[in-house]
Amino acid sequence: MTSPVNTSLAYLDGAWKPLTECLIPINTHALQYGTGVFEGIRGYWSGNHVNLLLLRQHFERLARNAAMLLMKSPSVDDMCHLAIDCVARNQHRQNVYLRPVVYKKGTSLGPVLVNVPDGFMCYSQPLGDYLDTGKGLKLCVSSWRRLPDNCIPTRSKATGGYLNSALAKSEAVMNGYDEAIFLNDRGQVCEGSAENIFLVRGGTLITPDNTADILEGITRAAVLRLAKDLGLAAETRPVARTELYIADEIFLVGTGCQVSYVRSVDQRTIGDGNRGPLSARIQQAYEDAVYGRTPAYADWLTTVV
């Protein structure tokens, strides 16, 4: 991802300041121990306005995850207003990405979550494609296993847990792949470093279920809804590694990657290596929804005026 523009205005613990002036002490708990939870939210430029995608769903997830990790977030309503304010203050006229974080801002020593004060920050930056949605991704199964739920819950979107993602993504990139697929500690297919995964087999969409140590992705839920509305069969169930190699189609979904089809996994070509018909339908339906072209999904969008 590109770095945020230095002149952009960001929110830190009650004040709006230029991003470069949003400073935290070096002994901040979240920096020392990875004790934060975050969200990634996209806004799409309609030609007139930025429309924030599934804004409330993101902040509801953030509030739930903060509580799980014994942190207190601002209210969902307050976070939604701050996010809208962030886009408005920065006068974005292109697609944007928002990064809100609830974090342990105390400076006490020791990796404990109780009796350490919480903080909240939010910044925005322009963002085009995170992964190339048009070219077909080359994936590998990572040698790194996914964090188990009983270790650092992936569903919590905890900042510290992203070291696991960083190890897998780095290994993939160093070996010439676009992205890594995690298996969980049971050896089942889990997700990408920052994406959920869908396979297509015999006309059915398949994605790992909520107990597979995945992040319960908001795009994944949106894609399941699109599939239902398109009359496509979809299953959430455990997925074995070798199902990847024999799938008719595979695509990744997420706020960052949107809907990106997969060309190969571990050097096995998926289908004929091109975007498959169901991947194409889902990608088109998703794009139409996020750009406000489908009235049925108008409530997914919050317009920043």
Ligand X SMILES: Cc1ncc(COP(=O)(O)O)c(C=O)c1O
Residue 11 or residue 162: which is nearer to ligand X going by CB?
162
How far apart (Å, rounded) are the C-alpha atoms in residues 33 and 204? 42
Residues 101, 104, 110, 113: what is their CA dihedral angle, to the nearest 10 degrees? Answer: -100
Chain residues that interact with ligand X, rule: CB under 6 A = 40, 154, 165, 191, 194-196, 215, 217-220, 254-255
Q: What is the DSSP letter of 132?
A: -
Between the CA of residue 112 and those of 35, 68, 69, 195, what are the distances in Å? 9, 14, 10, 29
Three-class DSSP category at 59: helix
| Smallest distance from ligand X to CB 241, Å | 18
Question: Which of these, 262, 245, 150, lies nearest to 196 by C-alpha position?
Answer: 262
What CA–CA distance (Å, rounded) separates 285 from 258?
11
In 3D space, the residue among 235, 262, 243, 240 whose CA is nearest the CA of residue 180 turns out to be: 262
Which position among 17, 104, 105, 157 bears the catalytic label? 157
Catalytic, 228? Answer no
- Rank residues 213 and 249 by Cβ distance to ligand X and give the closer one: 213
224 Cα distance to chain centroid: 16
Neighbours of 125 (CB within 10 A): 18
Q: Which is nearer to ligand X, 253 or 304 (CB)?
A: 253
**DSSP result, 237-249:** ---BHHHHHH-SE
Closest approach, Cβ 7 to ligand X, in A, equals 26
The three-class DSSP label of residue 169 is: helix
Cβ proximity to ligand X, 9 vs 285, nearer residue: 285
For ligand X, the closer of residues 53 and 270 by Cβ is 53
Positions annotated as catalytic residues are 157
